[in-house]
Amino acid sequence: MSRGARPASAGSANALELRGVSRLFGALAALSDITLSVQPGERRAVLGSNGAGKTTLFNCITGDFAPSSGIIRFFGEDVTAFPPYERIRRGLRRTYQISSLFAGLPVLDNVYLACRGVSRNRYSLLRPRRDDALVHAAEGLIDAVHLTAVKDQLVGELAYGQQRQLEIALALSGAPRFILFDEPAAGLSPTERRDLVHILTGLPAHIGYIIIEHDMDVALRVVESVTMMHNGRIFKEGRPDEIEADPEVQDLYLGGGHG
Amino acid sequence: MATLETRSPSIDAGARIGLREAIARQGTAFWIVAALLLVMPLIATPFWLVQIIAYAIILGMIALSLMFLAGYGGIVSLVQMTVAAFAGYLVAILGDSAITQISLKWPWWATVPVAVVLASLFGVLSGALSVRTEGIYTIMITLAIASAFYYLSLQNYTIFNGFSGFNGILPPVFLGVDWGGDVAFYYLTLGSAALAYAAVIYVSRAPFGLALQGTRDNPRRMAALGFNVTAHRIAAYGFAAVIAAFAGVLLVWYQRQISPGTAGVGPVVDILIIAVVGGLSRPIGPFIGALVYVLLRTFSLDLLELVGLDGKRFQLLIGLGFLVIVLVSPDGLIGIAERVKGRYRRGREARTAEMGGPGGQP
């Protein structure tokens, strides 16, 4: 990590802890009183119908929106008032539901920027040298998501599935400790979904994540716990098999048609 | 502004080219223009050398600082001319001028660095004030700062000497050269502009410039990658201000006087016009825009009188020219040149494709 002074209590603290987090948009409560804790290295799915507040939850965790009330801790540190970039520098990462990339820049520059963002010398006026460590790191990430063949192409020219994979490469830059994946499988082909499951299950064990995903075949295969949301509230938590078997959940979310 | 795309090789390609290769990659047009500029004192009259070309280069440098902010950062700042004028004022105040009761008579080697540093700080401060706004609001706030500076310089007599400003400011003499001489001053401006031009191109592919383009395209994502977008934009104001400040020093040596009119609302907007007319997508654009602007300003009077109109209406011609260029090409003269080049290339490709078929069997 880029800075020395970090709360070193990572052993005992939760990776992520939310206490009574609410978010109002006018009179609408997009999130009400969310209390949630995730262990370091834990992998969890957040499920729920559209409008359940899943993406708003991510936006509060990353700091894109400030919560209207409540406290958010990241590895024991109260980050509620931190701007997004401070949370990212502490090891939080996210991907976006709708690809949020730099379309006018080549693939390599996109990943290089992600690596720069969590390193020092963000303001460097000197171009990277041939053997720059961050260029190598970026190339490694591009290789990990199978995009080496297109690394010099402009992102705007990539196929949709490739853009989704690039999203994941950006989230893996630097030394992530916890990642928020927002519907990473949306719009992917069956083969690409298999690749995605492979990438997610192959992540180092110390990296935990929360995944929002509508595809149960992806979501339940890559997590060990599930949180169900409905109308901005958490209404059930459990293991994937418990959730899948739960009649109330089937009724509400899986619509009976599943399986 | 968000749709602007600055064309340049990827960071990888940027990393792999040395100075020699960078020079080798320039097209023939670059070498023709460079050679022409270098031998200009042999072919041009002193009037053309200084009043037209050197003046255009100075205005081009100020517009270049705007191009850096607008083209790479999506920030339209109207404060660049004010930064330049502030640097110019500082040269007059700290150095020597005919207003001996104010000027401190510092030597040039102390005056210039202090002027550049203070003017750059002023640019950073203006950036800090306006950075949280976007689009038209940035324009309004920077215009307000520019107007405030104009009225301050107009009404303050203890430091800025009010309406009359300073005159009798001379370029320095050092290394045995009088830099106020026509040829020496021309090469001084040419060298400074070449440095500023190269610096902008280099930095645009360095992490700082690349991240700036990221904040232009997707500020929210940049924050989600660990960048402090606000601080990055303020730093961009700082970088641009250094270029504008150096240009301001040259400007005051060129004019040999400085007064509130140097940074009035007119000149402030003229810099925007120069940058837009030239084109904001490439660093060469502002210089082309500045040359067109200076030529129009200088000769439209004669031109108008030639066709029997009042010569005082030269602003009309500039305005019409601006209107036509912006209507025809949103990316200014650079955009027109690109399109002509593209059409020519396509035409040539079509011809070679036509001849390619039977060409195999002569």
Cβ–Cβ below 8 Å for B225 and A114: yes
> For residue A84, which of A123, A117, A42, A51 has the smallest C-alpha distance?
A117
What is the span of the domain harbouring residue B67? 11-356
| A6 within a domain of the structure (yes/no) | no
Within a domain: B1: no
Task: Please indicate, yes or no, if residue A4 is contained in any of the structural domains.
Answer: no
Residues of A in contact with B225 (CB under 8 A): 85, 88, 113-114, 116-118, 170, 173
Contacts of B132 in chain A (CB under 8 A): none
Q: For residue A211, give the nearest of A54, A33, A50, A36 by alpha carbon.
A: A54
- Is A96 part of a structural domain of the chain? no
Confidence (pLDDT) at B192 = 95
A102 contact residues in B (CB cutoff 8 A): 213-214, 217-218, 221
Pairing between β-strand A208-212 and β-strand A178-182 as defined by DSSP bridges:
parallel
Question: Reduced to 3 states, what is the DSSP secondary structure of residue B6?
Answer: coil
The ipTM, to two decimals, is 0.82
Same domain assignment for residues A63 and A190? yes
> What single letter denotes the amino acid at residue B29?
A
A204 shares its domain with A86: yes
- Per DSSP, B214 falls in state H
How many beta-carbon pairs under 8 angstroms link A with B?
123
Of residues B5, B210, B228, nearest to A113 (C-beta):
B210
Give the pLDDT confidence of A30-54 residue by residue, as tens digits: 999 999 999 999 999 998 888 888 9
Q: Is the pLDDT of residue A87 over 90?
A: yes
Lookup: tokens for A77: 């540190």
Of residues B180 and A78, which shows the higher confidence score?
A: A78
Query: Are A68 and A186 in a shared domain?
Result: yes
Contact list, A130 vs chain B (CB under 8 Å) = 15-16
Give the CATH number of the domain where residue A71 resides: 3.40.50.300
Q: In this structure, is residue B6 part of a structural domain?
A: no
A162/A110 same-domain check: yes
Indicate whether A51 and A144 sit together in one domain.
no
Which residues span the domain enclosing A156? 104-174
Q: Which residues pair with A179 in a beta bridge?
A: A93, A209
- In a domain, residue B137? The reply is yes
Question: Which of A100, A116, A174 is facing B221, going by the closest CB pair?
Answer: A100
Shared domain for A168 and A156, answered yes or no, is yes
Give B203→chain A minimum CA distance, Å.
6
**Positions of chain B with pLDDT under 50:** 1-9, 12-16, 357-362
Among A174, A189, A219, identify where a domain stops: A174
pLDDT of residue A131 exceeding 60: yes
Residues 6+ apart with CB under 8 A from B66: B76, B77, B80, B240, B271, B272, B275, B286
Distance of CA B252 to the CA centre of its chain: 15
Domain contains B4: no
Domain total in chain A: 2
Q: Which of A174, A203, A220 is the last residue of a domain?
A: A174
Indicate the residue of A113, A121, A132 with minimum beta-carbon distance to B225.
A113
Q: Looking at the structure, do residues A142 and A196 belong to the same domain, yes or no? A: no
State the CB neighbour count (10 A cutoff) for residue A67: 22
Give chain A positions within 8 Å (CB) of B11.
106, 108-109, 112, 127-128, 135
Q: Is B188 exposed, middle or buried (0-12, 13-18, 19+ CB in 10 A)?
A: buried
Residue A94 sits at the chain B interface (C-beta within 8 Å): yes
For residues A240 and A202, state if they share a domain: yes
The answer to whether position B362 is within a domain reads no
pLDDT at A255: 56
Gap between the Cα atoms of B209 and B217, Å rounded? 13
Is the pLDDT at A257 greater than 50, yes or no? no
Instruction: Give the count of domains, chain B.
Output: 1
Does residue B178 sit at the A interface (CB-CB below 8 Å)? no
* Residue contact B11–A112, C-beta within 8 A: yes
pLDDT tens figures, A1-13: 444 444 444 456 8
Contacts of A177 in chain B (CB under 8 A): none
Same domain flag for A195 and A71: yes
- CB–CB contact A85 B221 (8 Å): no
Answer with the residue of higher pLDDT: A248 or B234: B234
Q: What is the pLDDT of residue B17?
A: 53
Does one domain contain both A84 and A180? Answer: yes
Considering the domain architecture, whether residues A84 and A205 belong to the same structural domain is answered as yes
* Contact between B220 and A100 using a beta-carbon 8 Å cutoff: yes
Q: Of B300, B252, B317, nearest to B58 (Cα)?
A: B252
Average pLDDT on A99-124 reads: 86
Is there a contact between A230 and A52 (Cβ–Cβ < 8 Å)? yes
Strands of the sheet with A208-212, listed across from one edge: A92-94, A178-182, A208-212, A43-47, A225-230, A233-238
Among the partner-chain residues B13, B205, B207, the one whose CB lies closest to the CB of A122 is: B207
pLDDT of residue B21: 66
Query: Pick from B53, B118, B64, B121: which is nearest to B91 by CA?
Result: B118
Which chain B residue has the Cα nearest residue A169? B225
Task: Give the end of a domain, one of A174, A190, A209.
Answer: A174
- Note whether residue A8 is domain-resident: no
What own/partner pairs with CB < 8 Å and gap ≥ 24 does A156-163 have? A156/A103, A156/A104, A158/A107, A160/A99, A160/A187, A161/A187, A161/A188, A161/A189, A161/A192, A163/A99, A163/A101
**Confidence at A16, pLDDT banded by 50, 70, 90:** very high
Same domain, A153 and A164: yes
Residue A47 included in any domain: yes
pLDDT at A253: 64
Specify the pLDDT at position A10: 45
Query: Which residues contact residue A86 at a Cβ distance below 8 angstroms, ignoring those fewer than 6 apart?
Result: A63, A79
Residues of A in contact with B204 (CB under 8 A): none
Q: How far apart are CA B65 and CA B103, in angstroms?
A: 28
Q: Does residue A7 belong to any structural domain of this protein?
A: no
CA distance B228 to chain A (A): 6
pLDDT digits (tens, 9 = 90+) for B142-155: 999 999 999 999 99
